[in-house]
Chain A
Amino acid sequence: MRHLNAIFAEKPTAARGAVAAACVLTAALVCAPGVAKAQFDPASMTPAASIIENVAALTFTDQYGRQALNSNKVALKVQEIVDVSVETLTPELDVEANANDQRLAFRIRNLGNGREAFDLSFEHIDDDFDPEACRIIVDWDGDGRLDMTKDRVSSTTPVLAPGESVVAWVSCHIPENARLGALGRIRLRAFPTALRNGATVSDMSKAGNGGVFMVFGPNLRGGTAGTNGGVTSPPATYRVGEVVAQLIKSQQIVDVLDNNTVVTGTIVTYTLEARVGTGGTARQAQITDVIPVGATYLANSLTLDGARLSDAEDGDAGRFTGGAIEVGLGDLAPQSSRTVTFKVRINATGKNQ
């Protein structure tokens, strides 16, 4: 089930610069169950290992009357084109020195006519600093959102159908000594898993689906053939700045069917973490998040730093407005964070209730 990946790539929203007098953090996220997977041209290519047969039919008249017969059959076997693209979804991310789990998002798309997985690796591009302790997290359930109960730290994508894509994040630590304004850049590389042990003509002669010949498509042909080859993304850049505040949204799904499928009745817990950097105090910070289309807010599920908030507009910091949750965080000191959670239930009708 990989049907939500076209609509969302998680990217923390950040405000940068001087101290903000009032800081409203809005998480404009959508969760529409059943959104169709975006198809790409490769999906209309003839699948690898297909057999294309041709038989012609003949009729004619001779002295015995009208006759009919068929030709012999000729068959073509379809070889596999293997190719991939790696798109950078987070070209630039504002970070602070010594920050953990700073995520850059990428999208890996199978551009071939076979079903293939791709090995992933990242590389540093020479710049002011090298991001540290990086790991690759693959959006294994294909919903475009990071959820560590469903997604995996992995250096390989799932098997992708022709035209299908998956999001992966590279999550790094920013070095403590990275100075203000410094840049750290990485890029993500993808290479067909089937050619992991070599990409010579001999290796490729039976590597395709069903044992057919595999040939490189334009992107892979442009790279260096072999295990060090592959397709790389455009650079993604960490920029060290005075980040006032960052809002990171993640979700966790209680999977009623245990098969990674978002179905009617599924409860989704959203976590919104507001992180304030060294850039200054965030004054009168407020988190607003609209309930996604196709989901219903679960009454009394709002919490702030683990403490329950009532839905009514009353003495506590939070409320449910009917279409969104709002939580006032007050003034947030530098290098502090506060966490809001709430739950929604996926509707049968695909509409808000």
Chain B
Amino acid sequence: MIKTLLLATAVAGLLAHAAHAGEATLSTAVFKEVETRAADGKVTTALKPAGSVTPGDQVVYVLTYRNGGASPTEGVVINNPIAKDLIYAGPADAKPPVVSIDGKTFGPLASLTKTGANGAVPATAADVTTLRWALAQPVPAGGEVQMSFRARLK
């Protein structure tokens, strides 16, 4: 009987945790930037959902973090690895991530170096393997934060 109770408590705990984890969501979506030129020559850029691409195309990834819980969250960190066939092409909004070329050391791209044949040389966008956003402010209950970046298909 005691054993059964303990098991039931453990299951309840797991369920509670699972329900809680479901309160926070991170969603990712990918778009193509499509330029249209109006009759007056004005060019407007719109984001259209992307399913297929050809080499050289630029795409925009949009990440949305939503705190669906009842209390604020702190220390929110989002990591986004860059696929090997993509080249990071900069932030698509006013929240630039820090970047890494080895998945360990993060910083602005200009602060990173790599080892070339003749010693350290500045890292380039093509070297970037991971992006990271570390939110300085807590995200209130029900709050939502969006981040986006551009990438180009090799």
Complex: A53 Cα to B86 Cα, angstroms: 10
The stretch of B33-41, B72-80, B105-113, B115-123 that contacts the partner chain: B72-80
The answer to the question of A244 belonging to the interface, with a C-beta cut-off of 8 Å to chain B, is no
Output the residue of B21, B51, B52 with the most chain A CB within 10 A: B52
Looking at the assembled complex, report how far the CB atom of A281 sits from the nearest CB atom of chain B, in whole angstroms: 59
Assuming the contacts A56-B79, A62-B71, A78-B153, asked whether A71 and B52 have C-beta atoms less than 8 A apart, the reply is no
Give the interface size bracket for A toward B. Answer: 35 or more
Majority-rule SS of B interface residues: strand
Output the residue of A61, A74, A79 with the most chain B CB within 10 A: A74
Contact A63 B71 (CB under 8 A): yes
Instruction: Choose from A69, A73, A77 the contact partner of B21 (Cβ within 8 Å).
Output: A69
Complex: A59 Cα to B139 Cα, angstroms: 13
Instruction: Choose from B77, B80, B86 the contact partner of A60 (Cβ within 8 Å).
Output: B77
Contact A46 B154 (CB under 8 A): yes
Give the interface size bracket for B toward A. Answer: 35 or more
Instruction: Across the interface, name the chain A residue whose C-beta is closest to B86.
Output: A52
Residues on the A chain within 8 Å of B86, using CB: 52
Contact B76 A60 (CB under 8 A): yes
Looking at the assembled complex, report how far the CB atom of A353 sits from the nearest CB atom of chain B, in whole angstroms: 35
Residues on the A chain within 8 Å of B54, using CB: 78-81, 113, 215
Assuming the contacts A56-B78, A70-B26, A74-B30, asked whether A62 and B50 have C-beta atoms less than 8 A apart, the reply is no
The answer to the question of A257 belonging to the interface, with a C-beta cut-off of 8 Å to chain B, is no
Output the residue of B24, B28, B61, B71 with the most chain A CB within 10 A: B28
Instruction: Across the interface, name the chain A residue whose C-beta is closest to B62.
Output: A74
Complex: A52 Cα to B77 Cα, angstroms: 23
Complex: A79 Cα to B73 Cα, angstroms: 41
Assuming the contacts A52-B83, A67-B21, A78-B153, asked whether A212 and B52 have C-beta atoms less than 8 A apart, the reply is yes
Residues on the A chain within 8 Å of B77, using CB: 58-60
Contact B85 A50 (CB under 8 A): yes
Contact A58 B26 (CB under 8 A): yes
Contact B17 A64 (CB under 8 A): yes
Residues on the A chain within 8 Å of B85, using CB: 46, 50, 52, 78
Complex: A70 Cα to B26 Cα, angstroms: 7
Instruction: Choose from B26, B52, B72, B74 the contact partner of A79 (Cβ within 8 Å).
Output: B52
Looking at the assembled complex, report how far the CB atom of A251 sits from the nearest CB atom of chain B, in whole angstroms: 38
Residues on the A chain within 8 Å of B139, using CB: 60
Pull 12 A–B residue pairs with CB atoms less than 8 Å apart, ordered by A: A52-B53, A54-B61, A56-B26, A57-B79, A58-B24, A58-B78, A62-B71, A63-B71, A71-B26, A76-B30, A76-B50, A81-B55
Interface residues in chain A, defined as those with a beta carbon under 8 Å from any beta carbon in chain B? 44-46, 50, 52-64, 66-67, 69-74, 76-81, 113, 212-213, 215
Interface residues in chain B, defined as those with a beta carbon under 8 Å from any beta carbon in chain A? 17, 20-21, 24-30, 50-55, 59, 61, 63, 65, 67, 69, 71-81, 83, 85-86, 139, 153-154
Q: A58-B76, A58-B77, A79-B53 are in contact. List 15 more A-B contacts (CB 8 A).
A: A54-B61, A56-B80, A57-B79, A59-B75, A60-B76, A61-B73, A62-B71, A66-B75, A67-B24, A69-B21, A69-B25, A72-B27, A76-B51, A76-B53, A76-B153
